[in-house]
Amino acid sequence: MKMKKLTLSKKILVVLIFSIGFTILFSFFFIHYLYSELYLTSIEKSIVYQGKRTASHYHYGELSDEIIEKIQWYNIVSEYEIIVVDNLEDLTSYFPYKINYETLVDASDRAELERGSHVLKEGFVEELNREILGAIFPIKGENGLIGFIYIYVPLAAVQDVFQDSIPILLIVGSSFFIILFLVVNRAWRSLFRPLQDLQQLSYEVSKGNYSNRIQSDRDDEIGQVTKAFNLMSKSLEQQEERKKEFTSNIVHELRTPLTYISGYTHVLKEKIYSSPEEAQSYLTTIEKETDRLTKLITDLVELNHLQEDLYSIDLQPIAVAQLVVETIDLFAIHIAEKQLNLKLNIEEELIFTGDSKRIQQVFYNTIDNAVKYSVMNGILSIEVTKKDGLLQFQVTNDGILIDDDDLTRIGDRFFRTDKARNRTTGGTGLGLPIVKEIIRLHNGTFSITSDAVSGTTVIIQLPGLSSDIKEEV
């Protein structure tokens, strides 16, 4: 449980400390392994070799003074301590020490020597304060054992054996840990500094501050996470701005009609008018503003339903040409008022499978905007054609041009390209967002262009054209 409460950096630090500790422990055991396997084994082999070689020099016979003298001479010139005795009991006189606090020769050792085998003796000698390694070798005569040779050597301590290697090990080990520290420190800063920045930025985002960004030119996983977080912060900032703009727009849209309704209601209630006609005009205005509020609320609810996929489309065959003509007829008065030159290019045989009510809403909102923003005596072009197997509905007008920056925002809630338009020309700003959602539900595409040469053009493409068209006779 405690490990789970640690941060990632502390967990890595714990792993690093354990790794260093394991390395040191491994080095300790490895050195002792070398001491045991190399040094002690080599000493043991050398003692056995020297003991057997020494014992083999003496042939059957008595252990003469001359032989003993040669052995003693060998003892002087060699690195080993050699003791030669006639009886095992005399050995304790020359080597009066206990090995590992036990007698030098016990009953099992004596039996082994009588069989002609040598006996290894290894252990700590308190009087010498050293570990020793030795062996007792029997010397055979014609009538049995005639003597014993005891060869031993005080063992060097581990630090003495590796005294030439320890400085090298220390230098190499220190260099390794210094390099490891530098690498880990670099990796630590490279890994956790961005994570700490991300943590700090997440706190700022949680408080509603979306403006901060993390500067990073890395292309690794941390860099990708940083870029993703920056994109998320930017997206949240844009959403917050649009949320504020939406709130401001909805307040503006509601405030104006409510002001009219409240003001004129007060006038009628207090009878502050000069004639019945004036009172009737106030009532008409209240009715219009009420209708405006009703339409605004209806459009908002409708748009939310479309965006949340709460509305299921009712697919059925549609005679597109007839639907477009019927929709155009609804704008006959407005087209005449602006004296627009209407140009139609409609393929009458096209049959489209879709939601008739919603598709007419697309046609209506699109044509409504085109008529509303056309200039007097301008050209209004409407085309319904088949292109690349798709139904293409295209509307072009000579009207107010749209800036490139505004083109990308066409279809946002309450967004209007004509910021200064009056209440006569202005709608709710929800028409095109509803159009785009209906097109999305029909798996279609919406695009808009605007330039001084060709005017403003809206192109809508929808799949669902019937391949087989039958004419009734």
pLDDT score at 409: 63
Given 130, 145, 161, the domain boundary residue is 161
Given 161, 194, 218, the domain boundary residue is 161
Task: Identify the DSSP state of 39.
Answer: I
Pairing of strands 341-346, 379-387: parallel
pLDDT score at 324: 92
Alpha-carbon distance 96 to 393, whole Å?
Answer: 118
pLDDT score at 317: 92
In a domain, 238, yes or no: no
The percent of residues in the chain predicted with pLDDT above 90, rounded, is 9
For the CA atoms of the chain, what is the radius of gyration? 52
Given 143, 161, 179, the domain boundary residue is 161
> CATH no. for residue 149?
3.30.450
- How many independent structural domains does the chain possess? 2
Which residue would you say has higher pLDDT here, 415 or 79? 79
Contact 377, 340 (CB under 8 A): yes
Q: pLDDT by residue (tens digit) across 417-445?
A: 555 444 445 556 677 888 888 888 889 99
List, in sequence order, every residue forming a beta bridge with 82; answer none if it has no partner. 151
In a domain, 233, yes or no: no
Q: Is the pLDDT of residue 397 over 50?
A: yes
- Torsion over CA: 142, 143, 147, 150 (sign): positive
Angle between helix 431-441 and helix 276-307 axes, rounded to 10 deg:
30
- What's phi and psi for 140, nearest 5 deg? -90, 145
In a domain, 214, yes or no: no
Q: Which residues contact 281 (CB under 8 A, 6 or more apart)?
A: none
pLDDT score at 246: 66
In a domain, 285, yes or no: no
Buried b / exposed e over 337-352, threshold 16 CB at 10 Å, is ebebeeeeebeeebbb
Residue indicated by tokens 């409510």: 258
> CATH no. for residue 377?
3.30.565.10
pLDDT score at 54: 73
pLDDT score at 423: 46
Q: Which residues contact 258 (CB under 8 A, 6 or more apart)?
A: 289, 293
pLDDT score at 94: 81
Q: Is the pLDDT of residue 1 over 50?
A: no
In a domain, 239, yes or no: no
Alpha-carbon distance 117 to 111, whole Å?
Answer: 9
From 62-66, 148-152, 246-250, the region with the lowest mean pLDDT? 62-66
Q: pLDDT by residue (tens digit) across 181-238?
A: 777 777 766 666 777 777 777 777 777 777 777 777 777 777 777 788 788 888 887 7
Tokens linked to 29: 């055991």
In a domain, 167, yes or no: no
In a domain, 372, yes or no: yes
Which helix (DSSP H) or strand (DSSP E) does residue 1 occupy?
none
**Distance of alpha carbon 276 from the chain centroid:** 73
Which residue would you say has higher pLDDT here, 188 or 362? 362
pLDDT score at 177: 72
Q: pLDDT by residue (tens digit) across 62-111?
A: 556 666 676 667 667 666 788 888 788 888 888 888 888 788 888 888 88
Give the pLDDT band of residue 4 (cuts 50, 70, 90).
low
> What average pLDDT does the chain have?
77
- Winning range, highest mean pLDDT, from 36-45, 276-285, 375-384: 375-384
Domain span holding position 416: 316-462
In a domain, 171, yes or no: no
pLDDT score at 470: 42
Gap between the terminal Cα atoms of the chain: 84
Q: Which residues contact 267 (CB under 8 A, 6 or more apart)?
A: 273, 282
Degrees (nearest 5) of the Cα angle 54, 59, 60? 130
Alpha-carbon distance 180 to 329, whole Å?
Answer: 82
Give the pLDDT band of residue 468 (cuts 50, 70, 90).
very low
Q: Is the pLDDT of residue 287 over 70?
A: yes
Q: Quick one: which of 83, 69, 91, 144 has its CA closest to 114?
A: 144
Q: Quick one: which of 337, 417, 402 has its CA closest to 376?
A: 337
Tokens linked to 218: 């890395």
Alpha-carbon distance 137 to 71, whole Å?
Answer: 13
Mean pLDDT, rounded, for 131-156: 81
Give the pLDDT band of residue 473 (cuts 50, 70, 90).
very low
Alpha-carbon distance 54 to 239, whole Å?
Answer: 98
Residue indicated by tokens 């809206």: 458
Residue 141 CB burial class (10 angstroms; 0-12, 13-18, ≥19): middle
The percent of residues in the chain predicted with pLDDT above 70, rounded, is 74
